[in-house]
Amino acid sequence: MIERTPFLNIATHVILLSGLVIIIIPIWLAFVAATLTLQEVNSAPIELWPGNQLWANLVEAWTISDFGTKFLNTLIVATSVVVGKITLACITAFALVFFNFRGRMLIFWMIFITLMLPLEVRIVPTYAVAANALSPFQTILEVTGINWLINAVSGIEVALEWNLLNSYTGLILPLVATATGTFLYRQFFLTIPDELVEAARMDGAGPLRFLWDVLIPLSKTNIAALATIMFVYAWNQYLWPLLVITDRANYGMVVVQLSDLVPDQLTTGGGTPTWHLAMAATLVVMLPPIAVVIFMQRWFVRGLINTDK
Amino acid sequence: MAKISMRDVRKSYGKDQVVHGVNLEIANGEFIVVLGPSGCGKSTLLRMIAGLETITAGQIAIGDTVVNDLEPRERGCAMVFQNYALYPHMTVAENIGYALKVAGTPKAERMARIAAVAASVGLGDFLDRRPGQLSGGQRQRVAMARAIIREPRVFLFDEPLSNLDAKLRVQMRHEIRRIHNRIAATSVFVTHDQQEGMTLADRLVVMNKGVIEQVGTPSEIYDQPASTYVGGFIGSPAMNFLSGQVDRATHSVRLASGDRIDVSPAIAARNHGKLVQIGVRPEAMTMVPAGQGTLNATFEFVEELGAGRLYHMMFEDLTLTVLAGDRQTLAAGAPVGLHIPASAVHLFDADTGKRVEAAPLAVVEQVPA
Amino acid sequence: MRRAYFKFSWIAAVLLAPQLMIIFVFFYWPSAQALYWAFTLEQPWGGGNTWVGFENFANVLSDPYYWGSVRVSVIYAVATTILAMGMALILALFADRQLAGYRAYRIGLIWPYAVAAPAVGLSFQFVFNPGAGIFSYLNTLSPGVWDPSVYPWQAIASIVIAGAWKQVAYSFIFFLAALQAIPRSLSEAAVMDGARPLRRMIDLQLPLLTPTFFFLLVINITDSFTDSFGIVDTLTGGGPFRSTDLMVYKIYTDGFQSLDYSGAAAQSIILMLLVMALTFVQFRYIERRVHYT
C-alpha cells in the first residue's frame, strides 16, 4: 500500500519500543541483579548494567535450591499433565461428539461448569480430598448406609483410603481435568464431515479405529497447540504444589522453590538479602516456558485463542 | 480527463515477478475488462492503479499525472471489491457516505448525496440497515453506491460479481454497464469469467502469467486470437487444437496422421515447413458422411445444449468437438467425416504459440515489404 | 448437527469415565464440601459438624477485614484490567500496522505470558525493594520515603503493576489476533475512501474490536479475582497490615493458617458466586455477540 506516513511511522516505533522497554525493565533488572555480588546488589542506586557473577550466582542458586531434582520433578509433572490433559480432552470430546446417547448434553454441561470452579476458589476442600482421594466414595458409602450393610453382612469395615499428598499423582491428577481442552477438541471434531464417519463405517472401522487412524492424525495441529499452552500452565503451577507437597526435597517443583528464596527476615534472619541468588533462580525457573512460547509461538498463540474463545 | 496509461509496469514480491512489463493505454470513458485466470496478475495490475500495491518498475499515469507515488486517496479512483468490503458496523447510509465524511463534507450535503446515490441504485429503503441484514445483490449495490458517490475519475472493479448467483450476476452486469454509461468515468473491470468480459468490455485485455496476451474489442479477440492461449481461453465450448506442418505445394497443413487440412495459399506460401498448431472453433466445423470430409473421426458421445448439440469425436488420440444446430443420432463408435474449411483455420506457431498471419501484422512488426 | 454416529456402547462409557471421575472427585465433591462447611461449624473437641445456617456468612460479612479484602480485590481487579488492557490495546493497534520489526515487537510483547506468577512477584519484589530496587535511590535522598512493606498504598501499587505486567501479553495476543482477523479488504476500502491510518483505527478497527474488548474485560476481571495468589504470596504476603490481602489470599490464609475451614468455605462460596456471575455475563454476552458478516 502506498501511504506516506513518516511521522506516524516514527510514532509507531516509539510507542512499540516504549512498550517493549516497559515489559523488559523488571526482567532486565532481575537479570542484572543475578550478575552481581551480594554487596553490589544491595547498594543503592540500583545497578543497570550486568556484572560478571552470573555463572557463579546461577551455580550457587542451583545448588542451594537443589534445582536438579526439582527441575526433574517439574518436567515429570508438566509432561504428565500435558499428556494427560490432551488424552482426556481428546477421548472425552470424541465420546461426546461421535456417540449419540441420552445425557450427552448433561455431561457436556457438567464439564462446562468446571470452568467456573477454578482451583483457587475451592482450594481448601480440594486439599482435603487430596489427603484421601477416595473420601468422596467413603462418604457416599456411609451416608447411603451401604457400609453398614456390608459390615452387618460380612463383618468387614470398609475404609477406602488413597492419600495423594506428597506424590506425583497428587500433583498431576487435579490439574489434568480440562474443560477448555475438551471444548477445543469438540470444536475440531464438529468440523469433521459426516461423510468421513460414514466412509469409515463403510470401510468397517469401529469407533476406536476411527479415532486412532483418522481423527488423531488429523488433529496434530490441535495437539501441538494444546501441548504448548498446557506445558506453560503446568510448569507455572504454584498454589497446588505449595499445598500438596510438604516433602519439598523429594517432590518439590521449581516454581514453588521461588517462595523459599524471597529474601525476607525468614530466610536471611536479618542478614543482607541475597537478591542476587533469588534473581538468578528466578531467571532459571522462568526460562523453560518462555523458550516454549518463543519457539512454538504459532502453536501457542493458536492454542491460547482457540481454547479461551 | 482520465485516460490511464501504463508504461512497462512491473510488480515483484521479492524475487517473484508477477507482472512483467505491461504497456496499456486506456482512453477516457472507456470500459476495459482485464481477463485472465487466477494468478495471472490482473488483480495486482488493478491494485497498482488504485495505489493499494506499490509499482516495482515502470509508470502509471491517470489523466496527465504520474501517480506512481501518490496515495490512493489522491488518485481519484473508486473501487468495488470482490467481497464488497462493506464496513460491518456501519449502516448502509454510513457505508455509502464514509468517503464524504472523511473528506469533511458538511452533513446536510452528505445526506442529500447519500439519498440520491442510494435511490439511483435502488437502495432508498435500506439506508438504516446493516450490511449483515442485506442480500448478496443488495450488498453489491451498496458497494457500487459507495464508489459512485465519490464521483471518481476512474472506476475499478475487482471481480465484483463472482460472489453472486448466475442470474443476479447477469442482472448486475447490465446495471454496471448502465452506471458506466451514466457517470462517464473510465472503468477497469477485472474478471476471470470470459462471458462477463466479452459482454461488458469496450476493449478486452487478456492476461496470462503476468503478461498481456492480447488487447482488442471482444469480437477482434474472438475472431483473431493472437495466440493459442487466447484462442483456448476465449470461447465456449473451447477451440480444438491439432498439430502439423505447413506445406506450400498443397496449401495445407499436414498432420502426423498424414491427413491434410487446407489453409489459404498466402499463409502456406509464407510459412512453408513451419511446425504449427491449428485452431478450429467447434461451431466452424461441420459433420459430413465418413470419407467425404477433411478428416475421419469416430463419434463418441453428444452433449445436449438446448440451442444446439456438442458432438464429441475421437481423432487419433485427440478429442475434437463439433457444435451443430441439427440433431443427428449417431451410434457410439460410428465413423464421421469432419469438414474444416480453410477460412475456419487459425494457425499458431508451434514453438511460440503466436498467431501465424498471411501478411505481417502491422502492429507487431513494421518491416517494409 | 451431526447425522452419523457410532452406536453407543461400553466404549463411549469407558472413554468418558476418567474425565468424569476426575471432575467428580476434584471439582464437584470439593465444591459440595465447601458448601457443607459453609453452612456448618466443626465442633471443638470433635463431635462432627453442626448446622449453623448462614451464621458463617454473617460472620464473614460482618468482618471488617473481609470487607477490606473485598475492597482491595476490587481495586486490584479494576486497576490491573485497565492498565493491562489499555496498554495491550494501544500496542496491538500499532503493532498491527506491521512496520519493519513487527515480528520482533510481537514476540517481545508475547513472552511475558509464559512467566510464572511467583517469578513475576519475586522480580517485582526486587524491583520495588526499598534497599536494592529502582526506588532505593529515593531512600538514599530521603530515607523511608519508599517502602511497600510499610506503606499500604505502595504495596497495592506494587501488586497492581506486577499483575498488570503479567496480564498485558494475554490481552495483546487477543487484540492482535482480532485485528488480524479484520479482512484486509476492509482496510483497503477505507484507504480508497480516503481514511488515513489513525482515522482507520478510530472508525474501523476500534469498533470492530468491541466483541474482543468485552470478552477480555470479563476474562481479565475474573483472572484478577482468582489468579492473583502467586503474585501476592511472593510480593507482599498480604501485607502490610492486610492491605494486599486479596480474597483468594485470605481464603488461603484463613483456611490453611488459621484452620478456619468454615469461614474459608463461606468465602469460597462467595467468590465462586462472583466467578459464576462473571462467567454468566461473559457467555450471555458471547451468545449475543455481534457477529458482523
Looking at chain C, the whole-number percentage of residues with pLDDT higher than 70 is 94
| Residue C274 within a domain | yes
Least confident range from B233-247, C132-146, C203-217: namely C132-146
Chain A residues 114-133 with CB within 8 Å of chain C: 114-118, 120-129, 133
Q: How far is C225 from chain A (nearest CA, A)?
A: 9
Mean pLDDT of the residues in chain C = 86
- pLDDT per residue as tens digits for the range B292-335: 888 899 999 999 888 889 999 999 888 999 999 888 888 888 99
pLDDT band at C46 (very low <50, low <70, confident <90, very high): low
Residue from the list C5, C120, C226 with its beta carbon closest to the beta carbon of A121: C226
pTM recorded for the entire structure: 0.88
Higher-pLDDT residue of C75 and B307 is: C75
Read off the pLDDT of each residue in B342-355 and give the average, rounded to a whole number.
90
Domain that holds residue C84: 63-289
Q: How far is B87 from chain C (nearest CA, A)?
A: 7
- pLDDT per residue as tens digits for the range B22-47: 999 999 999 999 999 988 999 999 99
Model pLDDT, residue A19: 94
Please say if the pLDDT value at position B223 is more than 80.
Answer: yes
Residues of chain C contacting A43 with CB distance shorter than 8 Å = 132
CATH class, domain A68-261, is mainly alpha
- pLDDT per residue as tens digits for the range B93-125: 999 999 999 999 999 999 999 999 999 888 888
* Residue B43 CB partners (closer than 8 Å, separation 6+): B158, B159, B190
Please judge whether A177 and C174 are an interchain contact, meaning their C-beta atoms are less than 8 angstroms apart: no
Q: How far is C214 from chain A (nearest CA, A)?
A: 12
Model pLDDT, residue C13: 87
Please judge whether A262 and C255 are an interchain contact, meaning their C-beta atoms are less than 8 angstroms apart: no
The structural domains of chain A, with segments of one domain joined by +, span: 68-261
- pLDDT per residue as tens digits for the range A217-241: 988 888 888 888 889 989 988 888 8
| Residue C16 within a domain | no
pLDDT band at C292 (very low <50, low <70, confident <90, very high): very low
Residues of chain B contacting C204 with CB distance shorter than 8 Å = 87
Query: Which CATH number do you get for residue C86?
Result: 1.10.3720.10
- Grid-cell match 490481552, residue found: C171
- pLDDT per residue as tens digits for the range A148-171: 777 777 777 777 778 878 888 888
Q: Any chain C CB within 8 A of the CB of A205? A: no
Model pLDDT, residue A44: 65
* Residue B229 CB partners (closer than 8 Å, separation 6+): B206, B208, B213, B353
Please give the residue of chain C at the shortest CA–CA distance from B73: C194
| Residue C106 within a domain | yes
Model pLDDT, residue A308: 60
- pLDDT per residue as tens digits for the range A41-79: 777 677 788 888 888 888 888 888 888 888 998 999 999
Model pLDDT, residue C43: 63
Please say if the pLDDT value at position C42 is more than 50.
Answer: yes
- Mutation site for A-interface testing, chosen from B71, B73, B79 by largest number of A Cβ within 10 Å: B71
Q: Any chain B CB within 8 A of the CB of C150? A: no
Model pLDDT, residue B185: 87
Please judge whether B70 and A2 are an interchain contact, meaning their C-beta atoms are less than 8 angstroms apart: yes
| Residue C50 within a domain | no
Model pLDDT, residue C2: 67
Model pLDDT, residue A277: 85
Sheet order of strands, B346-349 included:
B260-262, B252-255, B240-247, B275-280, B346-349
Mean pLDDT of the residues in chain B = 89
Please judge whether A173 and C26 are an interchain contact, meaning their C-beta atoms are less than 8 angstroms apart: yes
Model pLDDT, residue B268: 86
pLDDT band at B367 (very low <50, low <70, confident <90, very high): very low
Model pLDDT, residue B365: 41
- pLDDT per residue as tens digits for the range C140-182: 788 777 888 888 899 999 999 999 999 999 999 999 999 999 9
pLDDT band at B189 (very low <50, low <70, confident <90, very high): very high
Model pLDDT, residue C289: 52
- Answer yes or no: are the C-beta atoms of C271 and C248 closer than 8 Å: yes
Residues of chain B contacting C193 with CB distance shorter than 8 Å = 73, 98-99, 102, 146, 150
Number of domains in chain C: 1
ipTM computed for the complex: 0.86
Q: Any chain B CB within 8 A of the CB of A4? A: yes
- Answer yes or no: are the C-beta atoms of A133 and C37 closer than 8 Å: no
Those residues of chain A that have pLDDT short of 70 are: 44, 263-271, 307-309
| Residue C20 within a domain | no
